[in-house]
Amino acid sequence: MGDAPGSFPRTAAVVGLGLIGGSFALALRAAGAEVLGVDPDPAALALARERGAIVSGAADLAPVAGADLVVIATPLERVADVAVAAARRMRPGAVLTDVASVKAPVVATVQAALPAAVRFVGGHPMAGNEGRGMAAADAALLRGRAFILTPTSRTAPEAVAVMEAVIGRLGMRLVLLDPVQHDEFVAQVSHLPYLLSLALDRAIADDARTVGGPTMQEMTRAARSPAVMWEAICRANRDAILRALDRFEAELAAVRRVLLAQG
Amino acid sequence: MGDAPGSFPRTAAVVGLGLIGGSFALALRAAGAEVLGVDPDPAALALARERGAIVSGAADLAPVAGADLVVIATPLERVADVAVAAARRMRPGAVLTDVASVKAPVVATVQAALPAAVRFVGGHPMAGNEGRGMAAADAALLRGRAFILTPTSRTAPEAVAVMEAVIGRLGMRLVLLDPVQHDEFVAQVSHLPYLLSLALDRAIADDARTVGGPTMQEMTRAARSPAVMWEAICRANRDAILRALDRFEAELAAVRRVLLAQG
């Protein structure tokens, strides 16, 4: 840890240097942490070093052994397994978090396998854009955005305290939510909007598309983000997304009724 | 007219100094036209004069008698009637256009009542934002956007030629469409996206909204635009909007099937 519980970490390891992990690494470095990177892709590590996001990196989890804070930012389907593997190498008292978009299954899996000395709290920064990888990473993506933490009755208070310090230093807004509640909320504000963007993008005929203005552009932007990432999110949060879809379809049916009544 | 058919107008009258009319007045003035304004609201006229959008204005249609080009930018439900009333006061050979979001009914009504000496072509700039009135008007809203003209077999070629000159000078992109085709296209790229934005905005629970990120913000922005304007659009283009809604719902049903198959 840094000097006291709740203090900003001296050394942080970011596992997964994609758009979000890379943005975190840049932001943590700018805030004064020594940042170590982990990524299986040598090009991502090289670019992260070149951009000053990390001071050193590795393809395996070795760097997490030296970190006060470990942030798991791999693709969603690998977050829980990588978090557990990282926890086994972390020093006692160090804090572990992740940035997965779906929290209940990740938190349950990690908590069940967590060594007693590692302090874990699930996290989710409400940030991102249609960019991909370390090349698109930008600390500015995070500033002003909500960072949701999802502590449970098993969460060490020190994990929340350290993350509170990090979130404040990065200019983000702390929101505390139960993991299940988190998944319901993001289904409504993030996962459902993506699916609507996708369906709209498919519903617009090619010749109509050529006259589209700013509304079409912004309503179909989300559809351009990586499909493989969204497939994993939809699989992990399927039931909450279906509930959000039901809410939306009820509202859309009301809109259709109003249209029909104008006949 | 200006010096020749197809030349940029020396004097233009803009009827209706709202977001779009006001933006046109600013853009036409910046491009060198003498712009006259018509608006029943004295505050809109005063602000248009103050912002340099018009050189003079009136609450009634008197100014259109002196214009080479008349642009009708009133609320949709009044466009056809105001266009016909303006046409009766316009000088022979002058060009009349409008900026209504729905074209087939407006074009049919205006063409049926048009004095032979006035040259009319329906128009629709694919621009706008959630702002309202002359205060939000901005010539930059128009630049780079599509300006759709909807000539028919009855349209004087000079009307298209003059508007082509205007559209070019304003840095907009000319698109020619049949009025019915226009209404089908904008139902898909503009009217449907608005209705989806509205239904999404209503489907998001208040407590979920507080964690929303950039995707939620951009997908619900259109829902903030003036409801009264959209009610008129939906009434005027109801059938095309229902067809676009059918296309969307078929795509959304496919999305739901994929989700369910992941069970």
pLDDT tens, residue by residue, B171-204: 999 999 999 999 999 999 999 999 999 999 999 9
| β-strand pairing of B173-176 with B146-150 | parallel
Closest CA to A86 of A116, A109, A111, A114: A114
The band of B2, judged by pLDDT with boundaries at 50, 70 and 90, is very low
Per-residue pLDDT tens for B145-168? 999 999 999 999 999 999 999 999
The number of CA neighbours under 13 Å toward the Cβ of B189 is 23
- Name the residue with higher pLDDT: B2 or A64: A64
The band of B5, judged by pLDDT with boundaries at 50, 70 and 90, is low
Residue B4: predicted pLDDT = 57
Other C-beta atoms closer than 10 Å to the C-beta of A4 total 10
Residue A263: predicted pLDDT = 65
CA distance B44 to chain A (A): 25
Does domain B11-177 sit in CATH 3.40.50.720? yes
Please indicate whether, in this complex, the C-beta atoms of B242 and A263 are within 8 angstroms of each other.
no
**Could you tell me how many residues make up chain B?**
263
Dihedrals phi, psi of A132, to nearest 5 degrees: -135, 140
Residue A189: predicted pLDDT = 97
Please indicate whether, in this complex, the C-beta atoms of B202 and A238 are within 8 angstroms of each other.
no
Q: With 80 as the cut, is the pLDDT of residue B117 above it? A: yes
Residue numbers in A near B222 (CB within 8 A): 215, 218-219
Please indicate whether, in this complex, the C-beta atoms of A189 and B215 are within 8 angstroms of each other.
yes
% of chain B with per-residue pLDDT over 90? 92
Q: Does residue A57 contact residue A34 with C-beta atoms inside 8 Å?
A: no
**pTM of the prediction?**
0.88
Closest CA to B117 of B89, B97, B98: B89
Nearest CA in chain B to A128: B214
Could you say which of A186, A193, A214 has the minimum Cβ distance to residue B129? Answer: A214
Q: Looking at the domain B182-261, which fold is it?
A: 6-phosphogluconate dehydrogenase C-terminal fold (1.10.3660)
Among left, alpha and beta (phi > 0; psi -120 to 50; other), residue A220 is alpha
Per-residue pLDDT tens for A71-116? 999 999 999 999 999 999 999 999 999 999 999 999 999 999 999 9
Nearest CA in chain A to B176: A211
Please indicate whether, in this complex, the C-beta atoms of B199 and A251 are within 8 angstroms of each other.
yes
Residue numbers in B near A179 (CB within 8 A): none
Q: What is the ipTM of this complex?
A: 0.88
Residue B1: predicted pLDDT = 44
Give the Cα separation of A220 and B146 in Å (integer): 18
Could you say which of B185, B213, B262 has the minimum Cβ distance to residue A235? Answer: B262
Please indicate whether, in this complex, the C-beta atoms of A212 and B199 are within 8 angstroms of each other.
no
Give the Cα separation of B6 and B165 in Å (integer): 6
The band of B263, judged by pLDDT with boundaries at 50, 70 and 90, is low
Closest CA to A233 of A176, A193, A175: A193
Q: With b meaning 16 or more CB within 10 Å and e meaning fewer, what string describes B180-192?
A: ebbbbbbbbbbbb
Mean pLDDT of chain B: 95
Tokens of B219: 């997908």
Percentages of chain B per state (helix, strand, coil), in multiples of 5: 55, 15, 35
Could you say which of B126, B204, B213 has the minimum Cβ distance to residue A211? Answer: B126
Cα dihedral A163/A166/A167/A171 (nearest 10): 170
Q: Does residue A14 contact residue A31 with C-beta atoms inside 8 Å?
A: no
Residue A128: predicted pLDDT = 80
Per-residue pLDDT tens for B58-107? 999 999 999 999 999 999 999 999 999 999 999 999 999 999 999 999 99
Could you say which of B127, B204, B221 has the minimum Cβ distance to residue A213? Answer: B127
CA distance B158 to chain A (A): 23
Nearest CA in chain A to B208: A185
B71 three-state secondary structure: strand
Beta bridge partners of B98: B72
Residue A177: predicted pLDDT = 97
Please indicate whether, in this complex, the C-beta atoms of B146 and A210 are within 8 angstroms of each other.
yes
Residue A233: predicted pLDDT = 94
The number of CA neighbours under 13 Å toward the Cβ of B108 is 6
Closest CA to A227 of A132, A98, A142, A105: A132
Could you say which of B128, B211, B249 has the minimum Cβ distance to residue A185? Answer: B211
CA distance B7 to chain A (A): 25
Q: Does residue B197 contact residue B223 with C-beta atoms inside 8 Å?
A: yes
Residues of chain B with CATH 3.40.50.720: 11-177
**How many CB pairs below 8 A link A and B?**
191
Residue A39: predicted pLDDT = 98
Residues lower than pLDDT 50 in chain A: 1-3
B32 three-state secondary structure: coil
Residue numbers in A near B177 (CB within 8 A): 211
Residue A1: predicted pLDDT = 44
Q: With 70 as the cut, is the pLDDT of residue B55 above it? A: yes
CA distance B109 to chain A (A): 19
